[in-house]
Structure 1
C-alpha cells in the first residue's frame, strides 16, 4: 500500500487580491497566508482564500515570521510576485533604479535564505528576466542549493482567455524541477466570448444591480461616437477624421493603434491592465456593446471566477482601486500550473522511491 503524497503549504508574498494564491489552492496546495502592504487586498484575500492576510511591508518580514506560519509536517513553498512597475515594458527607457520597488526581489531572496523553504516560485513581467536584479536572484537560489528553472509562459496555452506572457520561476531543494508546458493549442484557446458573453448586457454608465462590479464606465459623447465607429479588432484608422485624438495625428500615432479599440469575440483578450475599464487606454471596448469593459469582465478575463469578491457586500467598487487589484493580479491559471507541477514532481519522486524499496 502506497503512502500518501507529501503535501505543500504556501505563503504568498506581495499577495495582492489573491490571484496566485487562488491558482495554488486550485492545484491542491494548502495556502496558509498572504502578505501585502496594501490594505485594499485584505478583504478579497480573506474572503475568497479563507487564509490569513498579514498587512505588512515585506521588507519588515523576517524568516522566523514565515517559519511560524508554515504548519508542521508539510513541505514549504514561498511564492510571490514582486510589484513589477520598475520592470514594466510600459516604462521602457525610464531610469527606475532608484525606485523603492527595485529592491523587492532582494527582500524575496533574503527571506528564502532566512527560511530555506523546500520550494520557491516567482512570477513577473517578462522584461525582468533580462535585468541584473533577476540574475542576482537566480544566483542566490543556486548558491542555496536550489534547482532552478525559469522562462516565459503564454496564458492561452494554460486556459487563460488573455494574451498574457509572464516570466515564471520555479525552484526546488527536493530535486529537479521543470516549468509546466501548456496543453492548449491555438484551436482550443479560450475566447472572450466563452468568458464574458453570458453576463448581463449593459449600456455605458449602467450597472448590474446584482453585481456592482459589473458596471460600465460612462463615456463622453465624443468617446461614445468613437466606440460606435470602432470595429472589433480594428483601430482608430477606421474612424472619420473628426473623431481622431491629438495622439493619433502625431508622427508617433502608430504606437497607439490599440488605444480606443474593441476586443474581438473569438480570440483571447489583450493583456488586462489596471486601466482595462477605460476605453482610451487600450483595446478595452466590448466586442459588440457600445461601452468599455466592466471590472467583472476584466476580472474574469484575468481568470478569476465570476463569484470572486473584491469589495464588501453592497459597497460600490472604485474603478481605480479595484481596477488596480485586478490588473496587478497574477492570473490564477499560472499559479495552478505551477502548483500542479510541484505536486506531480513529488508524486513521481514518491513512486520512484517506492519502486526502489520494493526491489531491495
Structure 2
C-alpha cells in the first residue's frame, strides 16, 4: 500500500487539502498567515494541523518536520494570486511582497526534494517570469513537469473557473487526468435545493446560509434584473451614474443574476455582494449566501467555516471561500497522482486514479 503524505503551503480554508483527503492522500499540515483559516482547515480535515506562519520564514528543516516519517511526499500550494490576476493593475506588483512567494515555494522544494509537487493559480501566471523560473527550477532539480490551464467545470465544479494547474514528479512523467464530467454541473443542480431566505436573512439550521443585506435601491435593482442580464436591463432611474458614463459601459458583469441552467460565474472574495459581479441569486431577490458560494466552489454542504453564529463574518468568510482551491479540482489532482504512481509501479488499494481515468476516457472517446 502506497502512503502519500502532503504539506499544503498557502492552505487557506482547506479546499485543496480536502480534495486530497477525500482521495486518501494524508495531509499532515497546512501553512498560512491568515488565522481565520485555522478553524475550517482543522475542523474539516481530521489529523491535519494548521500552522500559522509566513512561508518566507520557513526552513527546509521546518518542512521536513511537518512531513515526518512518511512514504511518498507531496508538496502542494497555491501562492496568493493577486499580483498575477486580471486586477493586477490595482497593485504595485514590484512592491507587493506576494510577488515573490512562488520563489519561496521553489526554495522549499529545493530544500526538501519531495517526490511530488503540485501548484494551482490564476491562468495569467503561466506567462509570468516567476512561473517560468519555477518550472525551470523544478526541471533542474530532476522533476518531470506538466502544467495546463483547465476549465474547472469539466472536473465537477459548478462554476466557470479557469485555473493553472501544475504537477511535477521525480518518479516519471505525470499529467492531470482528462475531464471527469461530460456536462458541466449547473447552478440549479448545485444550490437549487437550499431553503429560501431573504436578503439579510439566515437559515436557522445553517449559519453559513445567510445573505447580505440590500439597500432599498439595490432591492429595486435586483427585482428589475433577469438571469444572465445586467444593469443595462434596468429602467433609467435605477442605473448608477458611474454606469451611465462612457467608461461605465465596459462593466456589464456587475449587478447580475446567475442563471439556473448554467454553471455559476467565477467565485471571488467579493462573492457575497450583489453589486460585485454576477452574484445575484437566479430567482430570489438577494445575493447568493455564503453557503451557496461555498457549494459553488464544490465544498461539501456540511463543510464548517465558523464555530458559531457569532463567527460568521461576510468579509472574512467570503475571502476564504473565494480564494479557495475548488475541492473537486483538488480531487482531480489527487486522482492524477494515484494514476501516475500506478503507472510508475506504486500501488493504491482503491485505485481512484485508475477509476477516474477510465471514466474520463469513456467520456471523451
- The whole-number CA distance in structure 2 between the counterparts of 1:97 and 1:134 is 15
Partner deviation per Cα, 1:211-253 (whole Å, 9 max, x = no partner) = 1111111111100000000000011111100000122111122
CA distance 1:100–1:209, change in 2 (3 Å): same
Q: Of 5, 8, 13, which residue of structure 2 is paired with 1:9?
A: 5
Alignment of structure 1 residues 108-257 onto 2, 5 Å? 108-185=105-182, 188-257=183-252
Unaligned runs of 5+ in 2: 348-365
Report the counterpart of residue 96 of structure 1 in structure 2.
93
Report the counterpart of residue 40 of structure 2 in structure 1.
44
Partner deviation per Cα, 1:305-348 (whole Å, 9 max, x = no partner) = 11111111333401001110001111111111111111111112
- The whole-number CA distance in structure 1 between the counterparts of 2:124 and 2:89 is 9
Alignment of structure 1 residues 275-314 onto 2, 5 Å? 275-314=270-309
1:351 shift after superposition: 7.3
Two-structure CA RMSD over aligned residues (Å): 1.3
Residue 305 of structure 2 corresponds to residue 335 of structure 1: no
- The whole-number CA distance in structure 1 between the counterparts of 2:91 and 2:32 is 26
Q: Secondary structure at the match of 2:87?
A: helix
Alignment of structure 1 residues 12-31 onto 2, 5 Å? 12-31=8-27
1:180 shift after superposition: 2.3
Which range moved further: 201-210 or 92-101? 92-101
- The whole-number CA distance in structure 2 between the counterparts of 1:58 and 1:71 is 18
1:95 shift after superposition: 4.2
Q: Secondary structure at the match of 1:157?
A: helix
- The whole-number CA distance in structure 2 between the counterparts of 1:27 and 1:158 is 14
- The whole-number CA distance in structure 2 between the counterparts of 1:86 and 1:301 is 24
Residue 269 of structure 2 corresponds to residue 274 of structure 1: yes
The answer to whether the 8 Å contact 1:226/1:239 transfers is: yes
- The whole-number CA distance in structure 1 between the counterparts of 2:230 and 2:98 is 35
1:92 shift after superposition: 4.2
1:121 shift after superposition: 0.3
Report the counterpart of residue 359 of structure 2 in structure 1.
none
- The whole-number CA distance in structure 2 between the counterparts of 1:73 and 1:54 is 19
Partner deviation per Cα, 1:122-153 (whole Å, 9 max, x = no partner) = 00000011110111111110110100101101
Report the counterpart of residue 61 of structure 2 in structure 1.
64
- The whole-number CA distance in structure 2 between the counterparts of 1:126 and 1:176 is 22
1:210 shift after superposition: 1.1
1:81 shift after superposition: 0.2
Partner deviation per Cα, 1:261-285 (whole Å, 9 max, x = no partner) = 0000011000001111100010000
1:196 shift after superposition: 0.8
Q: Secondary structure at the match of 2:208?
A: strand
With the length of structure 1 as denominator, give the TM-score of the two structures: 0.94
Q: Secondary structure at the match of 1:10?
A: strand
- The whole-number CA distance in structure 1 between the counterparts of 2:346 and 2:274 is 52
The answer to whether the 8 Å contact 2:186/2:263 transfers is: yes
The answer to whether the 8 Å contact 2:28/2:66 transfers is: yes
Unaligned runs of 5+ in 1: 353-360
- The whole-number CA distance in structure 2 between the counterparts of 1:351 and 1:85 is 37
- The whole-number CA distance in structure 1 between the counterparts of 2:336 and 2:124 is 24
With the length of structure 2 as denominator, give the TM-score of the two structures: 0.92
- The whole-number CA distance in structure 1 between the counterparts of 2:61 and 2:346 is 33
- The whole-number CA distance in structure 1 between the counterparts of 2:42 and 2:335 is 23
Which range moved further: 7-16 or 22-31? 22-31
CA distance 1:94–1:57, change in 2 (3 Å): closer
